[in-house]
Structure 1
Amino acid sequence: MADVTNPESEGDLQDQIEEVEALSSIYGDEWCVIDEASRIFCIKISNDLEEPKLTACLQIILPHDYPSASPPIYQINAAWLRGPERTKLANSLEDLYVEHVGESILYLWVEKVREFLVDRSLSSETVDQPEKVNMTAEEEVEDDDDDDEDIPDFKTLQLNTEHTHLAITDRRSTFQPHLAPVVTPGQVKMVLGKLYENKKIASATHNIYAYRIYREDKHSFLQDCEDDGETAAGGRLLHLLQILDVRNVMVVVSRWYGGILLGPDRFKHINNCARNILVEQGYTASMDEATKSGAKTKRPKSKKTK
């Protein structure tokens, strides 16, 4: 058995308790305890600007030997944060840790993320620029110019805070699906922004999403996905949408990690959540069937696939 009376471990635990208390006092409602026993916490960070408003969620797990020997395990959740920018921010956090090895680092990390958000907002590359990813060869860039004119009706956004029967819990991890109709990539960003206004969703370990938009004039699809740190989950979710041949819809699956690794089961839960909400909202039926039945399909297994 491990020596639970190790003085160094006791010192680390006391340092963690004091740091968490300080951060909770400093950041108030922005600080969230996800699992105190497993030392999992999350803080919602914003750039403190009126426009453009940028937010990110920093989730951390404190190892038993932090801060004396190990850094916090962290995940940055922000739908707009991709590729080189994500790498740049991660490198800056790791550099800070190296500079302060053996010290409590979380406050410095939070303020570094906030500084990054401010710099990002003030740069010429604003978040309002539409993404141009995974477009087929037929699609033209000018199609995105009209995105901001199409404001989605957020009454149709299905937040599973009210539809808990669709949630899946396994070994303390919880998966919840959300759905919204979308017809432009710009609407995808708006939906994500609306979702992140919900503190519970914003504090999720991962918010995996995928969408498919059918372009009538081009007879082709715009589609994309995001893992949000859950490697390969976004691609699997998009593959599900393709298999079901759904269109003009976006599905987001939020996962709150419970401290126990689920292995491949996590992908099963993500896709099952997504399929369940697609079925409930009628997206798995053919267009004619959906129109006749009021867009409701109750028996998803009636269509056999092999």
Structure 2
Amino acid sequence: MAEEENESNQRQSEEIEAMAAIYGEEWCVIDENAKIFCIRVTDFMDDPKWTLCLQVMLPSEYPGTAPPVYQLNAPWLKGHERAELSNSLEEIYVQNIGECILYQWVEKIRDALIQKSQRTEPDDTEVKNKTEEEEVEFEDEPILDNPPENPVKTLDLKISETPPETEELPPVAHGVPITDRRSTFQAHVAPVVCPEQVKLVLSKLYENKKIASATHNIYAYRIFCEDKQTFLQDCEDDGETAAGGRLLHLMEILNVKNVLVVVSRWYGGILLGPDRFKHINNCARNILVEKNFTNTPDEPPKTSGGKKKVKKDKKKNEH
């Protein structure tokens, strides 16, 4: 029981960090100890017509056997629209029991707001006069006896191996560095369609003396196998304990595929604590968005409910 609780806490922490990295200022911590969060969702980023605040509380059993408790807060949301949106969120939960679903919920709400914006124009008078916010809590949902397993495979990669010469080296892009208290983080990204290309990119990056001298080179990749409809994915901490798994979790939530992300960290002598994970994820998210890897998926994100394989070397903890 304690092991299951620890796993739930770990998965919740990874999801919270990923959501904060994805949504930035739209993501708000209401009560960190009680795990209550709020996210502002709009139809469009620049000039939103419709806005809704999703408030969630993560119970200790989430994501294993219980859904988030949620409230949909918007002065205009009522009646049929509220019921329809609530049903959509609950359907996502039932179809993904045991999985982290906050990203899917937010994007489902955004899709609904976009559709509403395309159908109608907001009534300013109604929005101003209607100040009372309605609240709906999550009702008990049936738990499936045999939730579907997500087809995910992992593969061991050793950077020291000689890369194959038959595969073509994909183009490698480098992100804008982030510096905090003398530590610098920089992300690198490349499209990959097979493990051989992953090895090629890693070898190419290590030819750069600056990258090779980084204290840590954390990486994760996801490759979609069309024939088997499965993901081949793996990650590497390179001594930054748990960083690889968190990076892979971010990529799962963003539902990116056929991509390798490497985040280099040059340690500056000052411990950053949990902030280092925030910088790693922000670096990765920024370059994935910049290079349009987040615009390709046509399906809802699928995440692995099982434990991810994380390869580590002799370096441990933060330094």
TM-score range, shorter chain: 0.3 to 0.5
TM-score normalised by structure 2 residue count? 0.42
Q: Relative contact order (C-alpha < 8 Å, sep 6+): which is higher?
A: 2
Higher helix share: 1
Give TM-score scaled by structure 1 length: 0.44
